[in-house]
Structures are given as C-alpha cells and as structure tokens.
C-alpha cells in the first residue's frame, strides 16, 4: 500500500497490510440489527433467514402480521432475536410506528432493506386508474423514500449504517404493462443516489439491488412464464435465495467503499 495515500477509517483499518478476513468473517453480521420490509415472503423471507444465519437480529416487517410471526419464529429457533411488525409501507404513519417500535426494542438499526413492493400489470397505460397509480407509487417509492430518509438520519447520529433498496430491472428496462411500477422504481434509484451522497461523509451507505425475474408470489401472475424465462441469458428465473449474497455484500462493513451503486441480479437480461 502506498503510505502517502490516506484511505481513511474503514473495516480494514488496524489490520496488517496483507491481512484479509475469512469469507465467514467478511459476511459476519453478529451484533447487527437488520430491518427488512416485505421480509416474510419471497426474496424478503430469504434475506431475513440469511441475515439471521449470519448472526443478525432481524425485524421482519410486512403488511400482515401472521407471516411475519412465522418467519420470526424460525429466526428465534436459530438463537437470534426477531421482531415481527405489521406495516403498510405506503402509509407514512405506519412507517413512523415501525421505526419507533424497532428502536424501542433494539435501540438501533444497522442495516435497512427496503424490499416491500408491488407490480400489478395493466392492459395499457391509459387504463391505469388514479387509485392504482397512487398505490403503486406509495409502496414502491414514497414508503421506501421515507424509511430511507428517516433511518439514514438516525444511522448518521449513531456513526453509520447500510441501507439497501430493492429496485427492479424494470426501472431501466421498462415493460408497457408495468410502466407505473417502472417509474416508481426509477424514482427510487434516483433518490437512493441522492441520499447516498447526502450521508456519505457521515458513514451511511445507500445502495440498490435491481432484480430481474424471480420465482416469487408475483410470478404466479405472469401471463407467459416461458417468455419471461427466455428474456434472461441464463434462460431461467432466479431463486429467491440468489439475492442473498448481493444483500450481504452491501451490508458488510468490508464493503465500506461502496455507496450509490446499483447491482443488477437478473440472469443476464437480454
């Protein structure tokens, strides 16, 4: 390492120049508190369980409490703490309550994953009603924006943290049937970069994952599953567990030089 270059404080500070933590240490989440919206199903469920296995305590938030409680029980069986919370992320009053509940229980949030979303299809843009449009924007942009903004401020006061916003490939490869969803996710991408820049000097990192087609509950509504599968170079859809390593990477303290990034996890979408 060039001794004239000041790399600043980071997770490697204090280690010998050639020292590299083991893979398990790189992704060790022991002592961290992770808040995951949409954490009871699909990719959210996979991330909730994965972060618990990595040593984290997990706040599982979703609109319905029963699935959250189910995942929380699985996490507790691993010897970790878990807090299930019912929260409609499109409603700021629910978001405020979620934050207060999380901090009352754990006193901090080290990692926030905004995973909750919805992508209803419409026959045409002209047939999108105002109520549906507002609901799509509320869940996919307004809510995640609010959670990111409020949690980032608290993280900054505590010395730092990692925020991961689950966007969509639709934000950069929009399809006609889901243009409001694509627009909302594109807005989330832009806001994520803005907030990343706002808090970078205070130790808060904000990054985006852009999934392609995954085999979650949404896939049951696909009109042509074969066409969806063939859009990817890998000629398949993703398993929800295949999002986990991307999230762990962003969450790791050893990824401290990554902020404002957008990682595609899409099977090589053509």
Q: Give me the catalytic one of 181, 199, 249, 250.
A: 181
Instruction: Please name every residue paired with 33 in a beta bridge, in sequence order, or none if there are none.
Output: 57
Structure tokens at 212: 């392609």
**Strands of 82-86's sheet in order across:** 82-86, 57-62, 33-37, 111-114, 161-166, 204-211, 262-265
Structure tokens at 46: 């996979």
> Residue with structure tokens 């959210």?
44
> At 90, phi and psi to the nearest 5?
-80, -5
- The Cα 84–Cα 14 span in angstroms is 38
**Residue 249 catalytic?**
no
For 202-242, where are the alpha helices, taking DSSP H only?
Answer: 225-230
- The Cα 206–Cα 46 span in angstroms is 21
Torsion of CA 205, 209, 215, 216, to 10 degrees: 50
Instruction: Please name every residue paired with 232 in a beta bridge, in sequence order, or none if there are none.
Output: 269
- The Cα 114–Cα 249 span in angstroms is 16
Contact predicate 60/50, CB 8 Å = no
- The Cα 209–Cα 247 span in angstroms is 8
Cite the active site residues: 181
């Amino acid at each position: 390492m060039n001794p004239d270059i000041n790399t600043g404080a980071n997770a490697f500070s204090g280690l010998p120049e050639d020292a590299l933590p083991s893979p398990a240490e790189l992704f060790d989440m022991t002592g961290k508190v992770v808040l995951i919206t949409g954490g009871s199903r699909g990719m959210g469920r996979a991330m909730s369980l994965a972060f618990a296995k990595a040593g984290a305590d997990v706040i599982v938030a979703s609109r319905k409490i029963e699935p959250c409680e189910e995942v929380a029980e699985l996490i507790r069986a691993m010897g970790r703490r878990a807090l299930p919370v019912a929260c409609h992320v499109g409603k700021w009053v629910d978001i405020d309550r979620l934050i207060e509940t999380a901090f009352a229980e754990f006193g901090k949030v080290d990692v926030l994953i905004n995973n909750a979303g919805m992508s209803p299809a419409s026959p045409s843009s002209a047939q999108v009603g105002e109520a549906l449009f507002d609901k799509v924007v509320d869940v996919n942009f307004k809510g995640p924006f609010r959670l990111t903004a409020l949690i980032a401020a608290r993280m900054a006061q505590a010395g730092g943290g990692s925020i991961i916003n689950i966007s969509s490939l639709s934000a950069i490869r929009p399809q006609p049937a889901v243009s409001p969803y694509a627009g909302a996710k594109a807005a989330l991408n832009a806001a994520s970069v803005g907030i990343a820049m706002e808090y970078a000097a205070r130790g808060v990192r904000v990054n985006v994952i852009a999934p392609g087609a995954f085999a979650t509950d949404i896939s049951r509504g696909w009109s042509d599953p074969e066409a969806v599968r063939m859009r990817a170079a890998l000629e398949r859809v993703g398993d929800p567990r295949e999002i986990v390593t991307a999230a762990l990477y962003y969450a790791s303290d050893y990824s401290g030089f990554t902020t404002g990034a957008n990682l595609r996890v899409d099977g090589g979408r053509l």
